[in-house]
């Protein structure tokens, strides 16, 4: 197998971690078992990303739309969120990883908010990699929140351009993701980083999230490294630039 070229790493990888429910079903278990089993995949992905030198990793953990799942599943997911952040904080500290979140986290239950904020605070001086959890997140929410803030700051239309707009998104000061991975064989973005993924390279795998391992991440990065990113230009222009 080809090896990762460490001189051509994506700075920022986003992952839509999907397929926990189906994974559990194939084993004759409840959906929650799939969610719990997904935590190991999170740990491996985070550790490997930091090891190879990725600077930003955004994990889509809970979408705005996921609030409409059965109450019992939402409740279990919130409990799992609290216990996982609590138990993983020491690994983040050991690996020098900073935790951040994006999304409408005001909607999270109080204890989840407290756990999240406490881990964000504890890891705030880490600088090897930033792990961004997308919680109660949707790309449309992000864009609408930016518009609201711009209006609140009374910014006039002549001042608005892409650079300014990005300063009002939840990913302010975070580079756009070059690579977006979705597991579980679904080919859609499900309201993830809509603005930010304008020029992302997409990688889809049939692997269900709880089965996602370091080798899967490695495959995705190697595939990314074989892509020709043209940003609207012609092949000839691209070759000239090299
Ligand atoms: C992803 O797995 C986790 C969340 C969206 C919270 P799913 O729960 O969507 O699993 P499937 O897609 O139903 O298999
Ligand atoms: C997307 O997965 C959200 C997360 C992974 C957190 P979903 O399972 O909610 O998305 P759909 O319903 O398949 O589009
Ligand atoms: Mg799903």
Predicted confidence at residue 155, as pLDDT, reads 97
Predicted confidence at residue 2, as pLDDT, reads 73
- Say whether 176 is catalytic: no
Predicted confidence at residue 239, as pLDDT, reads 85
Predicted confidence at residue 34, as pLDDT, reads 98
Predicted confidence at residue 238, as pLDDT, reads 80
HSE-CB of 25 using CA atoms within 13 angstroms: 5
Catalytic residue among 2, 20, 66, 161: 66
> Hey, whose CA ends up nearest to atom 12 of ligand 2?
190
**Residue 233: other Cβ atoms inside 10 A:** 12
- Say whether 66 is catalytic: yes
Predicted confidence at residue 1, as pLDDT, reads 54
Structure tokens at 205: 């795998």
Predicted confidence at residue 240, as pLDDT, reads 87
Structure tokens at 136: 């109660």
Below-70 pLDDT ranges, the chain: 1, 242
| Ligand 1: centre distance to CA 3 (Å) | 31
d(CA 58, CA 167): 18
Catalytic residue among 2, 7, 8, 18: 18
Ligand 1 contact, 210 CB (< 6 A) = no
Cα dihedral across residues 108, 195, 190, 88: positive or negative: negative
pTM: 0.97
Predicted confidence at residue 158, as pLDDT, reads 98
> Hey, whose CA ends up nearest to atom 13 of ligand 1?
21
Contact present, 12 and 174 (Cβ < 8 Å): yes
| Ligand 3: centre distance to CA 138 (Å) | 14
162-166 CB contacts, 8 Å cutoff, 24+ apart: 165/195, 166/195
Which residue segments constitute the domains of the chain, with CATH numbers given? 12-241 (3.40.1180.10)
């Amino acid at each position: 197998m080809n090896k990762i070229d460490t001189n051509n790493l994506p700075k920022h990888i986003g992952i839509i971690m999907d397929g926990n429910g189906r994974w559990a079903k194939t084993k004759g278990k409840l959906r929650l078992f799939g969610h719990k089993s997904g935590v190991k995949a999170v740990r491996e992905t985070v550790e490997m990303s930091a090891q190879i030198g990725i600077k930003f990793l955004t994990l889509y953990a809970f979408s705005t739309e996921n609030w409409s799942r059965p109450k019992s599943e939402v409740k279990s997911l919130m409990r799992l969120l609290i216990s996982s952040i609590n138990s993983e904080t020491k690994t983040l500290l050991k690996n020098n990883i900073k935790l951040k979140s994006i999304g409408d986290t005001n909607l999270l239950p109080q204890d989840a908010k407290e756990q999240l904020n406490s881990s964000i605070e504890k890891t705030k001086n880490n600088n090897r990699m930033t792990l961004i959890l997308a919680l109660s997140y949707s790309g449309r929410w992000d864009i609408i929140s930016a518009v609201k803030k711009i209006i609140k700051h009374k910014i006039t239309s002549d001042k608005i351009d892409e650079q300014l707009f990005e300063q009002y998104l939840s990913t302010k000061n975070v580079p756009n993701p070059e690579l977006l991975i979705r597991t579980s064989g679904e080919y859609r973005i499900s309201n993830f980083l809509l603005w930010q993924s304008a020029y992302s390279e997409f990688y889809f795998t049939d692997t269900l999230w709880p089965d996602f391992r370091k080798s899967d991440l490695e495959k995705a990065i190697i595939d990314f490294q074989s892509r020709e990113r043209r940003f609207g230009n012609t092949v000839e222009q691209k070759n000239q630039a090299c």
